[in-house]
Amino acid sequence: TEPALSVRDLEVTYYTDDGPVSAVNGVSFDLMPGEKLGLVGESGSGKSTMALALMRLLRAPTVISGQVLLDGEDLIGMPERRVRQLRSSKISMIPQGAMNSLNPVARIENQIIDTLEDHGTRRDKRTLLGLARDALEAVGLRRSVGRMYPHELSGGMKQRVCIAIAVAMQPQVVIADEPTSALDVVVQRQVMDTILKLQDELGVAVILIGHDMGLMAQTVDRLAVMYAGKLAELSPIREIFADPLHPYTELLIESLPKLADRGTFRGIPGLPPSLRSMPSGCLFHPRCPKAFDPCVDLEPAYGATSVRPEPVEGHQRFVACHLHQTEESHVG
């Protein structure tokens, strides 16, 4: 099968008054049709920047390079007019805090239609209204919710409206940036269930951005761990929890509160590096409990772990760490 989205050597550089800052640095991965890929990392690790880059929503003075292949078309370097056509019809995003930016004085269905039109959808109003109401149904809301205003909806319903906006044109890829961050645990679960159902009902591939490893464990097929603008590890969810390859992944998993010692959340010691002054060698070495000789000077390459026999498709594991032998040649 061909990937729904193929990202190669994605780089995002911000030009600040103090000079260029690399926010996303050489990220490569494939997202398969219908797959749910989690993306975790501390704040500032480049998750949201990468999401915006995949949508081509970053503005100058930011420079993007690399490839983002969607159905064989490269979004990077594509004319803005064409990108607008693809946004919402092939790739769409639920931005961070989306539910707080619903317009308080407009009916839900009109907001869905406005968003579709903003993204370049040209259909007659009746067709758009049908798409809007279908989308509400697809996320488990009644069609009549379309006639309502945001203040008439609960937080969970508002977040589902945002998901409906993202899936209204039946894209093949949806990026959800921290869709549950402002919600309580019960509602978080409902929103996650809605995202899970999208794959069954619409065949959408989802990139789920967050920092709640517990929620990821219950939701995604594979997990990508980002550190300081780079991928540290990308592995199937079961394998990554059973046997994390990268020491940073291991610390993230260990920091999860255990049922036994409820509430004692252990953070990861130290701070992520400032994007302005990156450490030499492995970016994680100043915090890594397993750092050894080569880590200080030599940057580990990100690639597929070279274990024999070759794992079946979709079960390949990728890591950037001197503790693990990798082959740079293929990326997934």
Tell me how many residues contact ligand SF4 (CB under 6 A).
Answer: 13
State the binding partner of 291 from ligand SF4, Mg ion, none, CB within 5 to 8 A by kind. ligand SF4
Q: Alpha-carbon distance 116 to 97, whole Å?
A: 19
State the binding partner of 227 from Mg ion, ligand SF4, none, CB within 5 to 8 A by kind. none
Strand partners, 230: 227
Please give the full DSSP string across 26-40, using - where no structure is assigned.
EEEEEE-TT-EEEEE
Residue 45 Cβ, how far from ligand SF4 at the closest point, in Å?
Answer: 14
Residue 66 Cβ, how far from ligand SF4 at the closest point, in Å?
Answer: 23
For the beta carbon of residue 39, count every other beta carbon within 10 angstroms. 29
Per CB under 6 A, does 285 bind ligand SF4?
yes
Residue 285 Cβ, how far from ligand SF4 at the closest point, in Å?
Answer: 4
Residue 200 to residues 33, 137, 203, 229, 290, Cα–Cα distance (Å): 11, 14, 6, 32, 41
Amino acid present at 231? L
Six-digit token string for 242: 């059973």
State the binding partner of 217 from ligand SF4, Mg ion, none, CB within 5 to 8 A by kind. none
Q: Alpha-carbon distance 155 to 307, whole Å?
A: 46
C-beta separation of 39 from 52 below 8 A: no
Residue 178 Cβ, how far from Mg ion at the closest point, in Å?
Answer: 6
Candidates 300, 303, 317, 331: give the one binding ligand SF4 (CB under 6 A): 300
Instruction: Give 11 or 299: the residue with its C-beta nearer to ligand SF4.
Output: 299
Angle at which helices 108-118 and 155-167 cross, to 10°: 30
Instruction: Give 21 or 291: the residue with its C-beta nearer to Mg ion.
Output: 21
Q: Alpha-carbon distance 324 to 176, whole Å?
A: 31
For residue 306, give every residue at least 6 positions away whose Cβ sits within 8 Å of its Cβ, in sequence order, or none: 325, 326, 327
Count how many Cα atoms sit within 13 Å of the Cα of residue 121 in the half-sphere of its side chain.
27
Torsion of CA 27, 31, 37, 41, to 10 degrees: 10
Residue 53 Cβ, how far from ligand SF4 at the closest point, in Å?
Answer: 25
State the binding partner of 48 from ligand SF4, Mg ion, none, CB within 5 to 8 A by kind. Mg ion
State the binding partner of 285 from Mg ion, ligand SF4, none, CB within 5 to 8 A by kind. ligand SF4
- Lay out the site mask for Mg ion across 46-85 (x = CB under 5 A, - = otherwise): --x-------------------------------------
Residue 83 Cβ, how far from Mg ion at the closest point, in Å?
Answer: 22
Per CB under 6 A, does 282 bind ligand SF4?
yes
Residues between 221 and 280 that touch ligand SF4 (CB under 6 A): 246-247
Per CB under 5 A, does 249 bind Mg ion?
no
Per CB under 6 A, does 302 bind ligand SF4?
no
Residues of this chain that interact with ligand SF4 (CB under 6 A) are 246-247, 282, 284-285, 288, 290-291, 295, 300, 321-323
Q: Which residues bind Mg ion (CB under 5 A)?
A: 48
